[in-house]
């Protein structure tokens, strides 16, 4: 297999990636709040009753329908709009520089048309671009992103609950324990809810086993979990040292702590991915506008740039090679995941797309 040679990244890619990184935490916090509300808004008693009825009853006991409202309450659409806008502006600035339209005036860089008093003449001369977020396509792109975000969070969360509930039905057992298992899956994806429930099982075993070899192997296994750090890690050691200090309540607290960490992880993934997506949409919107204003030609190419750090996946590293010289303004990139219009290629993708305005 051909290995991907490290390329020098254009400064424009660095600027775009830095902006995505800067805007991710605000979204991460809000998304974590929504996922936590979904779990906290579910009553264990109702779940316990529902689990004795049907999968449908369980699904109805969880306020999935409120996700859209909570997304609004948390101000997520405003954040998405802001990311779209700052991305459009940044890419406008980059484009102006690429087209050689940035001039020094009194030692100050004049980039934004109409942005600073006295520099408006650029606009009148039709020689530079300023991002217009109010055009109908921008408004539509922002609404679409909000809708997709709600749909994806809801869909993945429901899938996880459906799977865990069916599993609980197959295993049978005490309804309260089943309800607790379902509750510990709320707000997570399918694999994440599996990890939480494996963790719960391991902790339970740790509290109820006396064989020292089994115990130390289990402790190592739990401690090796990526999210078992700090206070949680110390508590696992305490449980290992003296299980008698841990009743059912304390064990549940350990699982809840782990669940909380998993929610934070999912929120980070969603935030990173959606920030990258909004950034790419703002960028595309700016380029469409620039083309409509005749500032870039149809020969311009969009070029895929990876972030060459330890997180780079081989499948993403291949994308530049699969699209030598980039693709046209309206074309899709050929990727191992199928045709993709712009980054992100998949969750947690940190690639960006930059413009080669002349196509040369």
Interacting residues toward Zn ion by CB under 5 A: 316, 345, 349, 351
Minimal distance in Å, beta carbon 345 to Zn ion?
5
Indicate the residue among 164 and 351 with the shorter CB distance to Zn ion.
Answer: 351
Secondary structure E strands in 95-158: 103-105, 108-110
Minimal distance in Å, beta carbon 349 to Zn ion?
3
Element of type H or E holding 285: helix 248-292
Indicate the residue among 17 and 98 with the shorter CB distance to Zn ion.
Answer: 17
Six token digits for residue 101: 């339209």
Minimal distance in Å, beta carbon 17 to Zn ion?
11
Minimal distance in Å, beta carbon 350 to Zn ion?
6
Minimal distance in Å, beta carbon 10 to Zn ion?
16
Indicate the residue among 295 and 349 with the shorter CB distance to Zn ion.
Answer: 349
With beta carbons less than 8 A apart as the criterion, state whether 70 and 145 touch: no
Minimal distance in Å, beta carbon 43 to Zn ion?
40
Indicate the residue among 13 and 50 with the shorter CB distance to Zn ion.
Answer: 13
Minimal distance in Å, beta carbon 343 to Zn ion?
6
Max CA-CA distance within the chain? 82
Indicate the residue among 206 and 345 with the shorter CB distance to Zn ion.
Answer: 345
Minimal distance in Å, beta carbon 277 to Zn ion?
12
Indicate the residue among 180 and 316 with the shorter CB distance to Zn ion.
Answer: 316
Indicate the residue among 28 and 316 with the shorter CB distance to Zn ion.
Answer: 316
- Is residue 239 reached through a cis peptide bond, with omega within 30 degrees of 0 on the bond before it? no
With beta carbons less than 8 A apart as the criterion, state whether 329 and 298 touch: yes
Indicate the residue among 63 and 336 with the shorter CB distance to Zn ion.
Answer: 336
How many other β-carbons are positioned within 10 Å of the β-carbon of residue 278? Answer: 27
């Amino acid at each position: 297999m051909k290995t991907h040679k490290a390329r020098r990244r254009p400064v424009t890619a660095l600027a775009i990636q830095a902006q995505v990184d800067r805007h991710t935490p605000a979204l991460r916090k809000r998304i974590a709040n929504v996922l936590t509300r979904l779990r906290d808004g579910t009553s264990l008693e109702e779940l316990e009753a529902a689990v004795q009825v049907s999968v449908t009853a369980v699904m109805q006991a969880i306020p999935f329908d409120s996700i859209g409202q909570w997304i609004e309450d948390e101000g997520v659409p405003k954040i998405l709009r802001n990311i779209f806008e700052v991305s459009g502006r940044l890419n406008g600035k980059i484009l102006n520089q690429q087209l050689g339209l940035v001039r020094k005036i009194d030692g100050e860089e004049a980039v934004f048309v109409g942005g600073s008093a006295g520099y408006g003449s650029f606009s009148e001369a039709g020689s530079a671009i300023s991002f217009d977020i109010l055009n109908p396509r921008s408004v539509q792109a922002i609404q679409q992103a909000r809708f997709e975000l709600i749909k994806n969070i809801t869909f993945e969360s429901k899938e996880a609950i459906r799977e865990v509930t069916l599993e609980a039905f197959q295993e049978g057992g005490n309804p309260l324990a089943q309800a607790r298992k379902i509750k510990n899956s709320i707000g997570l994806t399918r694999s994440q809810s599996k990890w939480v429930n494996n963790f719960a099982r391991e902790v339970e075993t740790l509290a109820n086993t006396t064989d020292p070899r089994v115990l130390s192997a289990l402790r190592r296994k739990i401690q090796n979990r990526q999210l078992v750090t700090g206070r949680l890690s110390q508590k696992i050691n305490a449980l290992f040292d003296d299980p008698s200090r841990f009743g059912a309540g304390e064990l549940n607290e350990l699982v809840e702590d782990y669940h909380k960490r998993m929610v934070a992880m999912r929120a980070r993934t969603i935030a990173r991915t959606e920030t990258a997506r909004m950034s790419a949409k703002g960028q595309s919107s700016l380029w469409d506008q620039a083309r409509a204003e005749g500032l870039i030609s149809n020969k311009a190419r969009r070029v895929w740039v990876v972030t060459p750090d330890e997180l780079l996946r081989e499948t993403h590293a291949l994308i530049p090679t699969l699209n030598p010289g980039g693709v046209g303004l309206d074309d899709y990139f050929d990727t191992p995941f199928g045709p993709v219009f712009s980054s992100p290629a998949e969750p947690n993708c940190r690639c960006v797309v930059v413009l080669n305005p002349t196509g040369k």
